[in-house]
Amino acid sequence: MAETPDPDAGFAAAILRRFAAIAESHLLYSFTRSWVVMIAAVFAVTIIAAALAAQWIAPTNPLDLASLDLMDSRLPPAWMEGGDPRFLIGTDDQGRDLLSALLYGAQMSIGISLAAVGVAILLGVTLGLISGYFGGLFDTLIMRAADVQLTFPAILTALLVNGAARALLGDQRLQGGEFWVLVVSIGLAFWVQYARTVRASTLQERHRDYVQAARLIGVPSWKILTGHVLPNVLGPVTVIATINLALAIITEATLSFLGVGLPPSHPSLGTLVRVGNDFLMSGEWWIVFFPGVVLAGLALAVNILGDWLREALNPKLR
């Protein structure tokens, strides 16, 4: 009983301790050692920052339909013959400035992906904690559900949830709700991994002396869970979240590409590629090229960061 629980050991304090430990580990060391990781980090941060600042740095507002001029449609990048200096990387079929559309689109994609990963974490961590800590019927139900869902690829789950939402809401009510339909369908597709990881660590922690001691002296369950169990799963959850972010970005783009994501008037990386794909045959490569590169680069960079995090933190993931 050396480790009696500190009554002040709240969630915040625990997280601070956790991150102090991470900083002391060779995380920083390995970061500065690998130039690939550095480039990936710089790329990801640049894209994300530019996307978040789209409202301020984009030359035009692609959502403002009144400003569009069909005469400007399908112009090549500025440096090519027939290019227009107003449109640095060309325009799409609506005459939208591709750079602006790209910035707004990236913002939309990143926003959806972050929100979806948030939904997945919230759902997965909560269910994992309940499953591991209380066991019994909860555990059986949740883990069976996880097993069944794992049988299906995430993209299929997302498509089914998406299709069900469309049928439930109908086309009119869906207007404007596409963002949340995407968030929920992607989030529901990715919760299983968090639930399993959190459940495994919770099972381990539950039998530790200090948790038993805390239970004996009557510390409420939620306090034990947030103060002691949760901080211990932060490492693995961070890694899964990073890798999932890349997956979520790809999934959002895929859904939008398949035509079940955002409507074409709302640019996201996927819708831009979808639109651009139609013009690839006629040689207007830039409409698909730039969104494609940003999408692939972003997914690759986040993946590299996730790989590096996994190795540096070395949690037992699988």
Partner 1 sequence: MSSYLVRRLLEAILVMVVVAIVAFTLFRFVGDPVNQMVGQDIGIAERDRLRAELGLDDGLLVQCGRFIWNALHFDFGISYKFRAPVTDLIAARLPATLELSLAASIFAIAAGIPLGVHTGIHRDGALSRLIMAGSLIGVSLPTFLIGILLIYLFSVTLHWLPSYGRGEVVSLGFWQTGFLTGSGLRALILPAVTLGLFQLTLVMRLVRSEMLEVLRTDYIRFARARGLTDRAIHFRHALKNTLVPVVTIIGLQIGSIIAFSIITETVFQWPGMGLLFIQAVQNADIPIMAAYLLLTAVIFVTINLIVDLIYRAIDPRIRMSGRV
Residues in contact with partner 1 by CB under 8 A are 144, 147-148, 151-153, 155-156, 159-160, 162-164, 166-168, 246, 250, 253-254, 257-260, 273, 277, 280-281, 283, 285, 288, 292, 295-296, 299-300, 303-304, 307
Q: How far is the CB of 303 from partner 1 (least distance, A)?
A: 5
Q: How far is the CB of 274 from partner 1 (least distance, A)?
A: 8
- Integer Cα distance of 273 and 262 in angstroms: 12
Cα 35 to Cα 14, 31, 155, 256, 300, distances in angstroms: 32, 8, 32, 33, 15
Nearer to partner 1 (CB atom), residue 10 or residue 163: 163
Q: How far is the CB of 308 from partner 1 (least distance, A)?
A: 11
Residue 51: helix, strand or coil by DSSP? helix
Secondary structure of 231-253 as H, E, C letters: HHHHHHHHHHHHHHHHHHHHHHH
- Integer Cα distance of 74 and 82 in angstroms: 10
- Integer Cα distance of 103 and 269 in angstroms: 9
Nearer to partner 1 (CB atom), residue 138 or residue 289: 289
Nearer to partner 1 (CB atom), residue 46 or residue 277: 277
- Integer Cα distance of 281 and 258 in angstroms: 18
Nearer to partner 1 (CB atom), residue 100 or residue 256: 256
- Integer Cα distance of 270 and 251 in angstroms: 9
Q: How far is the CB of 310 from partner 1 (least distance, A)?
A: 13
Nearer to partner 1 (CB atom), residue 224 or residue 295: 295
CB atoms within 10 A of CB 31: 15
Q: How far is the CB of 5 from partner 1 (least distance, A)?
A: 38
Q: Are 182 and 271 in contact (CB under 8 A)?
A: no
Q: How far is the CB of 299 from partner 1 (least distance, A)?
A: 4
Nearer to partner 1 (CB atom), residue 58 or residue 239: 239
